[in-house]
Each structure stands twice: as C-alpha cells, then as structure tokens.
Chain A
Amino acid sequence: MATEKPLVLLVDDDEDFLFQQRVQLQDAGFEVITAQGQAQAEKILADQKPDVAVVDVMMENPDAGFVLCHHIRKNTPSMPVILVTSVNSETGIDFDMATEENREWIKADVLLSKPIRFEQLLGEIDRLLAVKK
C-alpha cells in the first residue's frame, strides 16, 4: 500500500494556535484538518476517521475537550487522543494524568500543558502512531 499521509485532527478555539500547528504539521508530512470547537469536531468525526486527534480542553464550554475525548473513546476506541490545555496556567488548578484516578476519567492518551513546543507535540504524535501500528 502506498504510504498515505497520516491525518491529524486539531481542535482548538484559538485560531492562531490552529494555524501555527497546522502549518508545522503539514510541513512535517501530515494531512491536517482543523475544528474550532467540540461541535465542529463532532461534525467532522461523523464522516472522517483521523489517525490522531489533538484536542484543547476549554472551548465553547470549559469542559468541551473532555466531553469530546469521551465521545471519541466511545465511538472510535482505536483513535489516540492528545489533550492540550492551558488549564494549569490559567486557573492554577494543577492536574495531570499521573494519578490512577485522573487517568480513569480523562479519556486521553497524553496530556500536554500549553504553551507547548511543536517538537514535543510532534514527538507524541509519532509515538502514538507507532504504538497504533
């Protein structure tokens, strides 16, 4: 089979974040599709199956990202999800996926805190795609 470009779904309400990550992912050899919120992402997911999703937490609702993760996990358990959030820096609420309890309810494979470096995001995407194969 010809090597197809992996498809990344980027979901964030910050247009600039979407633009900047999209440009870099495309140059790194990915197909990218973007959504500005949970609702838009759900529409996309209704007829496309990205290889990996990168999801912000606080969008149209403060927990929109968490809800989206749950839906992805339920409908497409094989799709890896990376949560990207500024919850820590913005609210001072310190949370991560180090505890069993948090891993239990946060339905994501990786949680990254904003600001993120692109190389870090790329590293996680590569790793998750390798595991998937």
Chain B
Amino acid sequence: MEKLRVLVTDDEMGMRLGVRRSLQDFTVFVPDVNETVGFVIDHAESGEESLEKIRQQPPDILLLDHKMPGISGLEVLEKLAGMKTDMLTVMITAYASIETAVAATKQGAYDFLPKPFTPEELKSTIRKTATRLILARQARKLAEEKQQVRFEFIRVLGHELKSPLNAVGGYLELMKKRQRGDDLASYDEMLDRSLDRIDGMHKLIRDLLDLTQIESGRKNRSLAEVNVAAIARTAVETVRAAADSRKIAVRIHAADPVSMQADAREIEMLLNNVLSNAVKYNRDGGSVDLTIERRDGQVVVETVDTGIGMSAEETGRVFDEFVRIRNERTQHISGSGLGLSLVKKISQLYHGSVKVESQPDVGSTFTVSLQADKASAA
C-alpha cells in the first residue's frame, strides 16, 4: 500500500499528537484508480522547522497552522512559492477568517480546517486531499505516457522519411558525378530506383494523413447509410491492375447491398488497405477472396489470400505502427508500415475488431468486424 507523507506543522503539542493518532491507521480508498493509500506522519513545531523539512523532502500533504510564534503559516507558504512540488497544503486556522483564507489560497493552499476540529472532520479533509493528489498524479502519468508514445511515433516516422531521402540523395550524387559516363541510358536504373523511393514516400505521407484524420479529424466524419458491397467493388477495381499483372484472381462475395451506418471514406480506406495487402503479399498466379456479410448486427469483411503468409510471432505485431515483416520474400515489397494499424484504428471507430490467421507459404485470412449501427460519434 502506498503511504502518503503528511507533515503536521503546529506549535501546540496536543494538536500534533491528536493528528498523529487520528491518521496513523487511517486509509483512503481511491476508486478511480482502485488504490488504497495510508499515511506516514511527521511533524514540525515551528514554521522554520517545517520549511527546513519541506526543503529537504517535500511531504505529499502539509497540514499547516497559521498562528505560530516565529514565522506564520502564510509566511511559510510565501517562502515555498515557486518550489516545484505537487504537495497539497491544508491550512489550520484558529478562527476561520476570510482574509486568512483568501491570502492562503493565493499562496496555493488547497483546503482549510478551522480549529477546533473533530477527528472525523480531519479525516474527511485528508480523504479529499489525498484523493485529489492521487488523481492528479495519475493524470500526469497518463499524459506523460501519451507523450512518450507520440515521441516514439515521431522518431520512427523521422527514420522512415530519412531513409528514402538518403537513397534518392545518393543516386543524385552518383548522377551528378557522371559515375557511369555520359550515356544517359546507363542511369535508368538509378532513376527508376529513385522514383520508387519517392513513390514509397508519397504512400507513407498519404497513410500518415489518413491516420491523422482517423485519430483527430473526427469532426469531419459524415455518417450515413453506406453500401459496403458497392465500396468494395470500387476497391477491387483499384487493385485490379496490380493483381492482373501478376495473374492474381480477385473475387468478391457479397450480397447487394450490405448496409451500415458509416463514413464512406473510412470504409474505403479500410477495404483498400486489406485488399492491397492481400495482393501485394500474394504469390504470382494466386487468388484473393473478399467476403462481405452482415452477421448479428455486424458487418464482417474477410480477405483470404494465397500468399506468403506469416509466422505466429509475425501475426502478433503486424497491427502495430511501422511494423513491416522483413524477410527474403518481402524485401522487394514496399509499404509504409501503417496500413494495418490504420485498419485497426478504423475498426475501433466502429466498436469492432480485426484479427488475422496465417500460415507461412499458405496464406493469410484477415477478418474485420464492424458494428453496423453503432459508429462512434466521439
């Protein structure tokens, strides 16, 4: 159990002992974080001693008497102004005067306890203060974690953008040096490779913008009744050229219409991504079967390919951002590493899920389930 440190600052010994007695076995349950905290009590007999202890190690909660010989409680607060700590102060005032209350609040006191107070009143104030402290810490921790995730995303993104730029820069250098002499045709391969890298960067930026839109641009969603089968037919046409060139058959199995409440653009992104993966990671002469059906209030989209497949370890991380499965068979396949994380995010918007079953050299089956009538408006 976490113990919060309470520093009681009062010149009256009876008060210090009373507080210690009331709080030493007291615990507070904070339901939001499902955590119980107890208290360790320390004391100071004057403002000066209190300041010294706080500067050494700030307590979590400071119970501070106002009227003391030497410096007053308010002066203690003044001297602590600007100190970096999340300590919360409860002022103890003999007569709950408005002026003291206002002045203390200005100096950052969190609450008041008018003297004399009962043990119950003390516990109630401490409960409130401790809860506030724990929740504030929890919020800060979550914010920090979120920021870490963002930093990590930006770091990887930087790397993903830098490597194609380096590659294209390298080819331009070689061409500038006339590395292969003056025959322009001898540079064709370098030009083709450069254009491929630029294509890859375009795709990455497009996926990135899609992802940003899914994550933040939810104001612009236009939810309406859409026919998933019709969107699927268009998506199949967009991968047709790539599929035909490698003799991959793409078949669609769907009733018409398959209706749901959705933003058409999101469904299009989702279908484009699962279909283009099924084609890209397929074998020449293979096939892709896309099935769309309504089942128990859900729209279920399933692609079955005859591709290179994945190991169990690989299927476990394939929905993470910037994850690309790297092996000899995928080294010539380009991708941003964002497509499937986009699919996952979209499925979440529809209170749905995405899963994959795969076997190396046999193929992969991706199944996306979406709630047909419960698109999140959030």
Interface, chain A (partner B; CB < 8 A): 13-17, 19-20, 23-24, 27, 36-37, 40, 60, 90, 115
Contact = CB atoms under 8 A, between A and B. Distances in A.
Interface residues of B, number: 17
A115 B166 contact: yes
B159 interface: yes
B171 A16 contact: yes
B163 to A, nearest CB: 7
Nearest to A40: B328
Nearest to B326: A60
Interface in B177-216: 179-180, 189-190, 193, 197
B327 A90 contact: no
A25 B226 CA distance: 58
Interface string B361-372: 000000000000
Contacts of B159: 90
Contacts of B171: 16, 20
Nearest to A59: B326
Interface of B: 159, 163, 166-167, 170-171, 174, 179-180, 189-190, 193, 197, 326-328, 331
A67 B171 CA distance: 30
Contacts of A37: 328
A19 B331 contact: no
A19 B179 contact: no
Contacts of A90: 159
Given A60-B327, A90-B159, A16 B167 contact: yes
B138 to A, nearest CB: 30
Contact of A23 (B167, B180, B197, B331): B180
Contact of A13 (B166, B179, B189, B326): B326
Contacts of B193: 15-16, 19
A60 B163 CA distance: 17
Given A23-B179, A24-B174, A115-B166, A16 B197 contact: yes
